[in-house]
Amino acid sequence: MTTTTVTTSDATAADRGARNLTLDAWRGLSVLLVICYHGVFFRFQDFFRPQALALDLADTFPSFLAANAYRLIVYAGPLGVKFFFVISGYIITKLLQEEHRRAGRVSLSAFYVRRACRILPVLWLFIGCLCVATALHLIEVTPRAVAFGLAFICNTSVTACYSDWFLAHLWSLSVEEQFYLAWPLLVLLFAARGIWRIALAFGAVFLALAQVSLFFVGEWNNGLSFACIAAGALYASHAGIRRYVARLASVPVIALVALAVFARPFIPLLFPGQFRLHDLLTPLLICFLIFSSFEHRALLERTMAVRSLAKVGVVSYGLYLWQQLFLASPDHYLRPSLLTQTYLLVPVVMISYFALERPFVRLGAALSKRLSRANRASFTPARPA
């Protein structure tokens, strides 16, 4: 989550009033999966762990349901981050290609200014609050972990930043920032010859790397993360794939794919290598699940569930950042404070969004438009006298 992370919403599209509520709803669902995972597995682990549930529930059937809900949540939390990666690859590639078609080129300076205004202000505020809380002896965050978080290298084996809880989730933001750094350059170089080929090649390479243990960092798999981004980029850049997904987007097929994505904890082992095969298919399954739903937007976006999830999706970046501060395991808090009051997550996210995130998103959009116009003017050939 991202971020996407949780960091996939774009100011330019938002300013045009062109928000895709279905896509925002997927963001909202993704971040809620992460929040449920952290709440159940970490913050309230003493209440939700299967042993405690079994003792509290007298009947076998309720105990069975509770234990399996626990299994699903523990699996679905990391899955939510993969959804963010697919969305991120799609959104960024789509916007870059639209700019290339509209202006004949991609303005790297405009792109990076827009991304910086989108990501950095809230991130700096979050890390600043961690430092203040550490100075007040409410939590403990090491300077080394802060430096790795600010450098966006938490997903590398040399940092081991995942051992510091309050910055552990920045591994996913690091993945996205590395994508943001490299992908626009490739679009700039290869857009005319088909960026989808690069996305396809990268997806295949990263899926192969996902099977190599050296490409793991802690419990996270960089190969699978980048493969999910590549899957979103491939869908955005290949019209044939989009048409194929649209043809298959019937309700029964979508339901079957949803079952394949979410029911993995309950699928028995049928043959050796089954779960490795599932890992290889996961980016494609998620990609199909998200984008096939676009064919039913008219119906979905009239439902209260989708509209409510879309509202959560709009603030998903802030939710993903701040939840780590309020959903830590109890032993990560040095003493009781406001940080142990989980309900404060919501007002903190809303204040962060309206006071900082949204104004800077709009600033980034304005600056990027100005830079794009300046760049187009500077590359316009002079008329012959």
Please determine, for residue 307, whether its predicted confidence score (pLDDT) is greater than 60.
Answer: yes
Q: Is 335 exposed, middle or buried (0-12, 13-18, 19+ CB in 10 A)?
A: exposed
Q: Given pLDDT bands bounded at 50, 70 and 90, which one contains residue 383?
A: very low
Question: Where do runs of H (alpha helix) occur along 249-303?
Answer: 251-262, 274-292, 297-300
pLDDT value of position 218: 53
Cα 309 from Cα 296, distance rounded (Å): 16
Which of 320, 300, 322 has the alpha carbon at shortest distance from 254? 300
Q: Given pLDDT bands bounded at 50, 70 and 90, which one contains residue 80?
A: very high
Percent of the chain whose predicted confidence (pLDDT) is above 70 = 83
The pTM of this model reads 0.88
Q: Given pLDDT bands bounded at 50, 70 and 90, which one contains residue 140?
A: very high
Please determine, for residue 275, whether its predicted confidence score (pLDDT) is greater than 90.
Answer: no
Rg of the chain (C-alpha set): 21
94-115 pLDDT tens trace? 988 888 887 777 888 889 999 9
Tokens 């949803």, residue?
A: 258
What is the mean predicted confidence (pLDDT) over 250-259? Answer: 96
pLDDT value of position 3: 44
> Is there a contact between 293 and 300 (Cβ–Cβ < 8 Å)?
yes
- The secondary structure element, H or E, covering residue 201 is helix 195-209
Q: At 21, list the tokens.
A: 């509520």
Q: Which residues pair with 112 in a beta bridge?
A: none
157-168 pLDDT tens trace? 765 545 588 998
Amino acid in position 335: R
Q: In 338-376, which positions are buried (b, 16+ CB within 10 angstroms) versus exposed (e)?
A: ebeeeeebeebbeebbeeebbebbebbbbbbbebbeebe
- How distant, in Å, are the alpha carbons of 71, 111, 148, 195, 348 from that of 155? 25, 23, 9, 26, 27
Cα 179 from Cα 203, distance rounded (Å): 13
What's the DSSP call for residue 7?
B
What is the mean predicted confidence (pLDDT) over 119-124? Answer: 96
Domain boundaries, the chain: 11-375
Percent of the chain whose predicted confidence (pLDDT) is above 90 = 57
What's the mean per-residue pLDDT of the chain?
85
Please determine, for residue 121, whether its predicted confidence score (pLDDT) is greater than 90.
Answer: yes
Please determine, for residue 191, whether its predicted confidence score (pLDDT) is greater than 80.
Answer: no
| CB proximity list for 69: less than 8 A, separation 6 or greater | none
What is the mean predicted confidence (pLDDT) over 200-207? Answer: 91
> Is there a contact between 29 and 286 (Cβ–Cβ < 8 Å)?
no
28-72 pLDDT tens trace? 999 999 999 999 888 887 777 655 555 455 556 666 677 778 888
Torsion angle, alpha carbons of 34, 38, 41, 43, to 10: -160
